[in-house]
Amino acid sequence: MIYELRIYTCVNGRLPALHKRFQDHTCRIFEKHGIKNVGYWTHAIGPSRNQLIYLVSFPDMNARMESWRRFRADPEWIKVAADSEKDGLIVEDVENRILEPTPYSPLK
């Protein structure tokens, strides 16, 4: 199992729109394409109150690549993304990291 940590920095004032998009659509569409939702967070204390941090998982790197390919090509996702950005871009920057669990990690 591999995990992908993603940090989305939003355009100022657009974090609520990103939350709505994830809550109403993205999480479900992820699962449809084999992207397992592990957890979602914002900063209570930290460098930015304008970020969404989340963790998803995949069986391996090949599954990850195929899942993201299918997700990005999904007509429903393309429409959801366009509709949610009618009032302007939501995400300003995306940072991602691929994480492998250590032998002693409870998440494997």
Residue 58: both structure tokens together: 């995949």
pTM of the model: 0.92
- Tell whether the model's pLDDT for residue 69 goes beyond 80: yes
- Tell whether the model's pLDDT for residue 43 goes beyond 80: yes
Mean pLDDT of 53-73: 98
Q: Given 3.30.70.100, 3.30.505.10, 3.30.1360.70, 3.40.190.10, which CATH number is that of 2-99?
A: 3.30.70.100
Question: What is the sign of the dihedral through the CA atoms of 103, 66, 92 and 85?
Answer: negative
